[in-house]
Amino acid sequence: MLIDVNAWLGTWPFRSLRDNTPDTLVARLDRSGIDKAVVSYIEAAFHRHPQSANERLARDVEPHGDRLIPVGTINPLSPHWEDDLTSCIDRGMKGIRLFPQYHNFQTDGTESRSVVQACAQCNLPVFIPHRLEDTRQHHWMDPGQSVDLAQIANLIAAVPDAAIIIPNARPLARSPLWMREDLRDLNWYFDLSLAEIHYGLHKSTNAMKDLGYLIEEGGANHILFGTHLPFSYAGPALVKLAILPVDEETLEDIKYRTAAKLLSL
């Protein structure tokens, strides 16, 4: 079993992602041997009020309910976001996504803390993508910003009961988040999609960086499988999964068990 916690539907304004529908995404999953994927509409990041994208997401994934796991998007600055959260729950969303860099709020601010606290009470994980594209190649109309991992650390500390997933995070091993040893036993996670390996001459996993450091320091329980489809190919995440220096039980947790628990599957 493989559960991808980081996949997308819809269009990206700044380059073509080809035909990115539920049908084509399921076909991509099939080609890579991935059983299920967490999905949101990309457009929600650009809507001041994302609820219309959430409603469309719920309708569009329904025929693929055995494969695609909908995660709604909330803008904490929208009036009555609490009603949006209730609607997402009623429509079967398994988590909530926040985009601080696109909706222009502080990751550890009052507004985001309120949403994360509400999600924790509803047993919904919160997804905060570290980035959507590499900031070095962003279009001039795209903010091109990564979320500050120090602010994510503050948010985790402020709402310790929440489950927070940080797709596309890099680097982590010496980040302000990992250096907060008081947070290492809390429920925060990152995926393999953009995590750095960097092994010497591509020959030895003994020289792995970032992921290697995290695993050596006890961080394997924070890793989830994710691809960032269709922004990225699935292959790199599958290769990282294949060479992770972890035992079989931990590998099964990374592949699907932790995600299934977080998503109440």
Comparing 136 with 186, the larger pLDDT belongs to 186
Residue type, 86: T
Q: List, as one string, the DSSP characters of the chain.
A: --EEEEEEES--TTS---S-SHHHHHHHHHHHT--EEEEEEGGGGG-SSTHHHHHHHHHHHGGGTTTEEE-EE--TTSTTHHHHHHHHHHTT---EE--HHHHT--TTSHHHHHHHHHHHHTT--EE--S-SS-GGG--TTS---PPPHHHHHHHHHHSTTS-EEETT----TTSTTTT-GGGTTSSEEEESSS-----GGGT-GGG--THHHHHHTT-GGGEE----BTTS-SHHHHHHHHH----HHHHHIIIIIHHHHHTT-
Average pLDDT over residues 66-81: 96
pLDDT in tens, 93-112: 999 999 999 999 999 999 99
Size (the chain), residues: 265
Q: How confident is the model at residue 31 (pLDDT cuts 50, 70, 90)?
A: very high
Least confident of 17-26, 201-210, 243-252: 201-210
Give the domain extent around 46. 3-262
CATH number where 117 lies: 3.20.20.140
**Domain count within the chain:** 1
Question: How confident is the model at residue 139, as a pLDDT?
Answer: 67
Q: What token pair was written down for 199?
A: 């092994």
Write phi, then psi, for 40 (nearest 5 degrees): -140, 160
Least confident of 95-99, 145-149, 247-251: 145-149
pLDDT in tens, 190-245: 999 988 775 444 455 555 577 888 888 999 999 999 999 999 999 999 999 998 88
Average pLDDT over residues 152-178: 94
Average pLDDT over residues 162-170: 95
Least confident of 41-55, 93-107, 136-150: 136-150
Sign of CA dihedral 171, 175, 181, 184: negative
pTM metric for this prediction? 0.93
Average pLDDT over residues 65-75: 97
